Amino acid sequence: MNRQTIETWFKKLQDDICTQIESTDQKGAFEQDLWQRPQGGGGRTRILRNGNIIEKGGVNFSAVEGPTPQKILDALQLDQADFYATGVSIVMHPRSPRVPIIHMNVRYFEMSNGVSWFGGGIDLTPHYVVDEDAHYFHQQLKTTCDQHDPSYYPQFKQWADDYFYIKHRKETRGIGGIFFDRLTETPEISLADRWAFVQDVGSLFAPTYCHLLDKNKDLPFGENEKLWQYLRRGRYVEFNLVLDKGTKFGLDTDGRTESILMSMPPQANWEYNYEVQPGSEEEKTLRLLQKGVNWI
């Protein structure tokens, strides 16, 4: 296992996910934008717009390298050395408020001084929390984690609850999932074992999300539900621009801005001091946007 092997697999993952999303959407097609980073490396940005189910979705691959910016060294408490980072990052914004937003990132990072690790995660952001879907999503994650280490799911679920928390709103971005970072080689776990786990997480994305797309795409909704969708998209934007470390890493390493910000929804609203109606579906969802919910 070396960085070229990892990079090649990530490119294939991007291809496979795009194929499965297009097949499920049955209208939208990904546009590809190849780009180069002046300091080293580049990527393939793929964007789907105005599909039957997906209003805007991005499946990005990148492999960048060069001198590590001082901001990154300071933030990660690393010694000076060149860096290399590769991975796949995905965000899907559906047309229907009955279909959830989803995000996934799987990545590999190494430095010229021998430091290396894997990171990633997958999380679901429903506009309306549906217990059955939340259970299904978390059970898929737990099954995948348990195949590698029974401690992974509870540990990485808690990490996701803490990471995807909009602290200025005192609510989670969605129903969480799993999040992990800086998974290094240890005496008990080899880097190859970490890589096998990351591959399984990446492969889990398309079948899991396509199931949720098929299940919810035809559910009815009206103007009230669209308003709520736009407000929840606003919360998504707040997290990604204010708190997300991946966004900050991309901008701090002079990544391609259009590719970094592909996670933004096509439309989002902010309404001053919006309050949900007691007993409404919206109120139920807000009550469930908290850490520590056992979805299984």
As separate numbers, helices (DSSP H) first and strands (DSSP E) second, the chain gives 9, 9
Which of 269 and 75 is assigned the larger pLDDT? 269
Residue 267 lies in a domain: yes
Q: What is the residue range of 268's domain?
A: 3-288
Tally the domains of the chain. 1
Residue 66 lies in a domain: yes
Residue 293 lies in a domain: no
pTM of the model: 0.94
Dihedral over Cα of 208, 167, 159, 105: its sign: positive
Tell me what the mean pLDDT of segment 93-100 comes to: 98
Residue 295 lies in a domain: no
Catalytic residues: 103
pLDDT at residue 52, as a whole number = 97
CA 81 → CA 13, 67, 112, 245, distances in Å? 29, 7, 6, 20
Query: Alpha-carbon distance 198 to 179, whole Å?
Result: 11
pLDDT in tens, 257-292: 888 898 999 999 999 999 999 999 999 999 999 999
Residue 103 lies in a domain: yes
Residue 19 lies in a domain: yes
Residue 109 lies in a domain: yes
* Residue 217 structure tokens: 């795409």
Per the CB < 8 A criterion, the answer to whether 196 and 9 are in contact is no
The H or E element that residue 105 is part of is strand 101-111
Q: Where are the alpha helices (DSSP H) in the chain?
A: 3-25, 70-76, 131-146, 152-163, 191-216, 223-242, 245-252, 257-260, 281-288
CATH of the domain at 228: 3.40.1500.10
pLDDT in tens, 142-194: 999 999 999 999 999 999 999 999 999 999 999 999 999 999 989 999 999 99
